[in-house]
Structure 1
Amino acid sequence: MKHIAFLLLLILTSCKNDTKTDIQTENSIDKSVYDMWHNYTASHPEFSKDELPDSWYFHNNKKDANRLTELVVNGKKKAGSGLYTWYEDASADLPKIGTKHIITDFDGKAKAIIEIKNVDTIPFNQITKDYASLDMGTTIDPLQKWKKAHWDFFASTMEQSEDTPIEEMLIVCERFETIWPE
């Protein structure tokens, strides 16, 4: 999931000239993120010394971001998927079990806190129906929907680096639990 935020940051910075100024502007954190973390740690004092988790939204447009955020809040979306190459290209570590993230809507308003429960790296063509159901938040044709949505999304993001998706591309599959909905 962190990969989506990273990807969006890459997209934003690649389109700008003065990246330092633009990154600071683009990364301003909504007060609701701080408030949600404060409320969570007040109820769970064992985490009061933890740093504010990363906050971000799923996808790259308002309609999908808000729809997916709603599925997280409702406990229907329990997984997220990203390209392994995003981590390689950024020299970034894969997500860690136990890491918390604050999920926002497209406008940056905090909606839920999730905790990573499992991380796997699986070829695109080996994603299971069960995993697709967790990621898509539906049991109606989840694998078909997952493959279409993710193939299209990955293809569009790979265009910038002049890459094309392949059936064997590695997918970082994160399973999570919504531990603090709005």
Structure 2
Amino acid sequence: MNMSSLVISNFWEAFKKKYPDAGDKYLAWSFGGTADQADRLAALVISGKKTATASLYQLYRWTNEPVPKVGDYNIILDGRQAPVCIIRTTKIEVVPFSEVTAEHAKLEGEGDLSLDYWREVHWEFFSEEAEAANHHFFETDPVVCEEFELLWPTE
């Protein structure tokens, strides 16, 4: 086990002391595509401003990763890939990009909280992800809209 994996495992074990029924199944990941984005978005989660996220549905097929589901535990990592908090998925909805709602955009807690802002930054992000997988991103492509609650740490 490398040092990063050990730190993440220890973070999970500390969490389980408060939530012993959590089990041993979790994913560890960071928001965004850069260290700066990971730090900024993780800070929004910890502050309580970010309670949702969105991901490109096809990405799960391309990477063979599981599609998020209600009840999933996630360790959120910062830009250095260090654990900063644990969230649990509370709602999943898969909709075309063009049908993501203003309410979801607001829950993501980014920018001016508007749907226009959300569409602009996510269009760019999803287009880059699709291009990296040799695909083209379309407004009709499905997006996983995920809502979550911050479980740990809490103050």
- TM-score w.r.t. structure 2 length? 0.88
Greater C-alpha Rg = 1
Q: 1:122 to 1:67 in 2, by over 3 A?
A: same
Whether the aligned pair in 2 keeps the contact of 1:81 and 1:174 (CA below 8 Å) is: yes
Quick one: which of 65, 70, 89 aligns to 2:62? 89
For the aligned residue pairs, the C-alpha RMSD in angstroms reads 2.2
Of 88-97 and 159-168, deviating more is: 88-97
Q: In the alignment, which residue of structure 1 is the partner of 2:15?
A: 40
How far the C-alpha of 1:99 sits from its partner, in A, is: 0.8
Q: In the alignment, which residue of structure 2 is the partner of 1:180?
A: 152
Q: In the alignment, which residue of structure 1 is the partner of 2:127?
A: 155
| One-letter amino acid of the counterpart of residue 13, structure 2 | H
| One-letter amino acid of the counterpart of residue 142, structure 2 | L
Quick one: which of 122, 128, 137 aligns to 1:165? 137
Q: Alignment partner of 1:29: what SS?
A: helix
Whether the aligned pair in 1 keeps the contact of 2:50 and 2:107 (CA below 8 Å) is: yes
Q: Which 4+ stretches in 1 moved above 6 angstroms?
A: none
Whether the aligned pair in 2 keeps the contact of 1:79 and 1:175 (CA below 8 Å) is: yes
Structure 2: runs of 5+ lacking an equivalent: none
How far the C-alpha of 1:91 sits from its partner, in A, is: 4.5
How far the C-alpha of 1:52 sits from its partner, in A, is: 5.1
Quick one: which of 70, 75, 79 aligns to 1:102? 75
How far the C-alpha of 1:108 sits from its partner, in A, is: 1.6
How far the C-alpha of 1:55 sits from its partner, in A, is: 1.1
What fraction of aligned residue pairs are identical, expressed as a percent? 30
Q: Does 1:121 align with 2:94?
A: yes
Whether the aligned pair in 1 keeps the contact of 2:110 and 2:118 (CA below 8 Å) is: no
How far the C-alpha of 1:141 sits from its partner, in A, is: 4.4
| One-letter amino acid of the counterpart of residue 70, structure 2 | I
Question: By percentage of residues, which structure has more helix?
Answer: 1
How far the C-alpha of 1:143 sits from its partner, in A, is: 0.7
Whether the aligned pair in 1 keeps the contact of 2:31 and 2:42 (CA below 8 Å) is: yes
Whether the aligned pair in 2 keeps the contact of 1:37 and 1:52 (CA below 8 Å) is: no
How many pairs does the alignment contain? Answer: 154
| One-letter amino acid of the counterpart of residue 15, structure 2 | Y
Whether the aligned pair in 2 keeps the contact of 1:30 and 1:109 (CA below 8 Å) is: no
Q: Alignment partner of 2:5: what SS?
A: coil
How far the C-alpha of 1:162 sits from its partner, in A, is: 3.2
Q: 1:88 to 1:112 in 2, by over 3 A?
A: same
- TM-score w.r.t. structure 1 length? 0.76
Q: 1:150 to 1:34 in 2, by over 3 A?
A: same
Structure 1: runs of 5+ lacking an equivalent: 1-23
